[in-house]
Amino acid sequence: MKKHTMAKKSQREKTKRDRKRVHQMAGKQRLTVGLDLGDRNSHYCILDEAGEVVSESSLSTTQTGLSSLFAKMAASRVALEVGTHSPWVSRHISGLGHEVIVANAHKVKLITQSVKKNDRMDARQLARLARVDPQLLSPIQHRGPEAQADLGVIRARAELMEVRTSLINSVRGLVKPMGERLKKCDADQVGEDLGQTLSETAQRVIGPLLKSVETISEQIGIYDQLIEEIAQRYPAVELLTQVYGVGTLIALTFMLTIEDAERFQSSRDVGAFLGLRPKQRDSGASQPELGITKTGDRLVRSLLVQGAHCILRKGAPDSDLRAWGLSKVGTGKRSKRRAIVGVARKLAVLLHRLWVTGEVYDPLYNRKQAPRAAA
């Protein structure tokens, strides 16, 4: 026990000496730091300008722990992986005067597919890649704290929606083996009253579940009201909701996910950013048809697909986007799915264009321009 205590004390003293040496070196040369974030503790590796390891150790994943290393260090380059803690950690370290690179680990195979993977090696890999070329880390841009909190409300609502759907499916599945069936209705109409036409045995089985669904629907309604209040702080939402099939939820989620409309040189880049662009594996004359990349935010992508469904459904108002989508619908479910994804991609481009330009949306703009171009 005594030896263990002495070893820990010796390690703490060594860490203090290393950090003092790092702070002295940082004033003379630019250092590069790889930080592998953990839930409670994070491992770091510091390289000098020559690429030599200056110091390696760990610190607590708290503001105090991070400040103990970075607060007294001269401006350095810090690389860390995207994750649960990366938003606030990147903001905190940036606030201390450092250049922060948030790596997209899914695109960095040297980290994700390494045969020798641990916290120490990950920190080293991050530091070395950041020192050579930050673009090798496929850096991402975290949204600000206000946008993060507002988007958190939307994500919380989405979680409740998934739970409610799962419970409703379970209820319907439980009564079928009893020879009974719940009548069809919208999810927000499911409650205890729905089970009154069933037998007492079935009511005893699914009654608590139906009550839970009713409670969840009430909570979703509270979130819906909160989302409408949040939208009042984003005037551009009205520009996006000009498009049929795009409500406050889709418009606000789209804006909060992108946050900065000027981050793209062209509106066409938005489709690829949200993972709505087809994969490419062309080789010679071979050009296979592949699915979409599904990179980027899953929630906003699913909402755009919902908007595409509204645009293409029977009875929807005419528009250039609808006409294009219907022209792509062939025979079979696969063809229809491709058309819906294509409309979702074009919808994302359209929303970004309206956001950037502030134009009044004309659903038949392209059709009106065709005769003029011909003339």
Residue 267 DSSP class? T
Condensed to tens digits (0 to 9), the pLDDT of residues 218-272 reads 999 999 999 999 999 999 999 999 999 999 999 999 999 998 888 888 999 998 8
Q: How far apart are CA 322 and CA 314, in angstroms?
A: 11
> Structural domain boundaries of the chain?
17-137, 145-233, 234-281+290-375
Tell me: the pLDDT tens digits for 85-105? 999 999 999 999 999 999 987
Which is more confident, 169 or 106?
169
How many CB atoms neighbour CB 217 within 10 A?
A: 18
- Residue 43, classed as helix, strand or coil, is strand
Quote the mean pLDDT of the chain. 87
- Return the SS3 of 36: strand
CA distances from 190 to 187, 222, 223 (A): 5, 17, 18
Per-residue pLDDT, 139: 87
pLDDT, tens digit, for every residue of 117-158? 688 889 999 999 999 998 888 888 888 889 999 999 999 999
Please say if the pLDDT value at position 359 is more than 60. yes
User: Which residues, in sequence order, are bridge partners of residue 278?
Assistant: 292
Contacts 24+ apart (CB under 8 A), 164-172: 164/190, 164/213, 164/216, 164/217, 164/220, 167/209, 167/212, 167/213, 167/216, 168/213, 170/209, 171/206, 171/209, 171/210, 171/213
pTM of the model: 0.78
- Taking only the tens place, the pLDDT of each residue in 161-220 is 999 999 999 999 999 999 999 888 999 999 989 988 899 999 999 999 999 999 999 999
Q: Which CATH superfamily is domain 17-137 in?
A: ATPase, nucleotide binding domain (3.30.420.40)
- pLDDT for the residue 26: 58
Least confident window among 47-56, 68-77, 137-146: 137-146
Burial degree of 30 (CB within 10 A; 0-12, 13-18, 19+): middle
The whole-number pLDDT of residue 330 equals 75
Whether the CB-CB separation of 76 and 30 falls below 8 Å is answered with yes
Beta strand segments in the chain, E: 32-36, 41-47, 53-60, 77-81, 99-103
SS3 310: helix
Angle at the Cα of 152 from the Cα atoms of 44 and 351, rounded to 5 degrees: 110
* Residue 296 binned pLDDT confidence (cut-offs 50, 70, 90): confident
Q: With a cut of 80, say whether residue 283 has pLDDT above it.
A: no
- Quote the pLDDT of residue 60: 94
The pLDDT of residue 216 is 97
Mean pLDDT over 2-8 rounds to: 56
Q: Which sign, positive or negative, has the C-alpha torsion 305, 307, 308, 314?
A: positive
Sheet holding 53-60, edge to edge: 53-60, 41-47, 32-36, 77-81, 99-103
What values do phi and psi take at 58, rounded to 5? -135, 160
